[in-house]
Amino acid sequence: GEGGGVTHAPEPERNHPHRRAAQVSLTIRTMTPDEIGLALDWAAAEGWNPGLYDAAPFLAADPEGFLIGLREDGPVAMISAVRDGTTFGFLGFYLVRPDRRGQGYGWAIWQAAMARLAGRTIGLDGVLAQQDNYRRSGFQLADRHVRYQGYGLPDPAPEPADGTCMIALTAWPFASLAAYDRAFFPTERHAFLQRWIAQPQTLALGLLHGDRLLGYGVRRACREGYKIGPLFADTPDAAEALFGSLCARLPASAPVFLDTPASNPAALALAERHGLRPTFETARMYAGPAPALASERTYGITSFELG
């Protein structure tokens, strides 16, 4: 279905997954760079609507973080198990080829991903129906993320408030951006972030007050329309200014997507104020201690796939 992140849950324990896994013959290895494109194609077939240029920043986040499971007839399963820093990891792209589902391949590659992230706090965005399965693997609910969809604002962006100005993030000192980003992610993510803001067909903006960043946002072209993610801001007004600038002058026919934390009422209000409507929801869950993130300043998460 529509959405992203992790949808095909491990087999429930009552099905004796360890015994099932032993009977499954599956070659699991790291994806090649070309196979990241295949992962995005599979995600698109599920209706997850990946960005057109997501492969490069995703690969930069952890070149060995994407696993593929192979049988004689080619790839049958995949998952991402991206290591961030030394203490955190994130699961995404958990997919089994439709004609191979229910045969134990999902559980086998899930176990490989969990082993790769052993000893870390692990995050994921999973569909709500699978929460119980993830709980069996030690995950606990931390928040809900609601995908909102609507249409851009064809009018020019509103003028920033007095004393503030909008800048292109690629022209701002990266160290300052990375320092700001640390409130919103459990570790630094320099390699990913540098490529995320510099993708083709991407608009990455920061709102400044003097020499201080009040927030930033990124709009990237996707297979359908555009996604805004992340959208981080110190105040609702700053989020409003960034959202308006990111949506300005988009084609009226191009849908816009914003993935908001349900725990931030100002984020939900921003989406609804602009006529966006909820279309999908995920459960943000963690195995291990949940990181302390600035959810009250999060108006849009970066992605369902990498957190």
Q: How confident is the model at residue 156, as a pLDDT? A: 64
* CB 66 within 8 Å of CB 39: yes
Q: Predicted confidence band at 163 (pLDDT cuts at 50, 70, 90)?
A: confident
Q: Does residue 8 carry a pLDDT above 70?
A: no
Q: How confident is the model at residue 14, as a pLDDT? A: 35
What is the DSSP annotation of 70-136?
A: EETTEEEEEEEEEEETTTEEEEEEEEE-GGGTTSSHHHHHHHHHHHHTTTSEEEEEEEGGGHHHHHH
Instruction: Quote the percentage of the chain above a pLDDT of 90.
Output: 82
By three-state DSSP, how is residue 13 classified?
Answer: helix
Beta-sheet pairing, 66-71 with 74-84: antiparallel
Residue 291, burial from CB neighbour count under 10 angstroms (0-12, 13-18, 19+): middle
Q: How confident is the model at residue 4, as a pLDDT? A: 40
Q: Does residue 13 carry a pLDDT above 70?
A: no
**Two tokens at 262?**
């349900």
Q: Does residue 306 carry a pLDDT above 60?
A: yes
**Topology classification of domain 13-142:** Aminopeptidase (3.40.630)
By three-state DSSP, how is residue 169 classified?
Answer: helix
* CB 65 within 8 Å of CB 88: no
230 preceded by cis ω (within 30°)?
Answer: yes
Q: How confident is the model at residue 178, as a pLDDT? A: 98
* pLDDT, average across residues 156-166: 78
Rg for the chain, CA atoms, rounded: 19
Residues contacting 274, CB < 8 A, separation 6+: 150, 153, 243, 247
- Quick check: do 13-142 and 147-300 share a fold? yes
> In the chain, where are the structural domains located?
13-142, 147-300
Q: What are phi and psi of 150, to 5 degrees?
A: -165, -150
Q: Predicted confidence band at 65 (pLDDT cuts at 50, 70, 90)?
A: very high
Residue 5, burial from CB neighbour count under 10 angstroms (0-12, 13-18, 19+): buried
* CB 137 within 8 Å of CB 285: no
Q: How confident is the model at residue 130, as a pLDDT? A: 81
Structure letter (DSSP) for residue 51? B
Q: Does residue 121 carry a pLDDT above 70?
A: yes
Top-level class of domain 147-300: alpha beta
Size of the chain, expressed as the number of residues it contains: 307
User: Cα(82)–Cα(91) distance, rounded to whole angstroms?
Assistant: 7
204-232 residue pLDDT tens: 999 999 999 999 999 999 999 999 999 99
Q: Predicted confidence band at 17 (pLDDT cuts at 50, 70, 90)?
A: very low
Angle between helices 265-273 and 236-247 (to 10 degrees): 40
Q: Provide the whole-model pTM.
A: 0.91
Q: How confident is the model at residue 187, as a pLDDT? A: 97
User: Cα(180)–Cα(212) distance, rounded to whole angstroms?
Assistant: 10
User: Cα(127)–Cα(144) distance, rounded to whole angstroms?
Assistant: 10
Q: Does residue 128 carry a pLDDT above 50?
A: yes
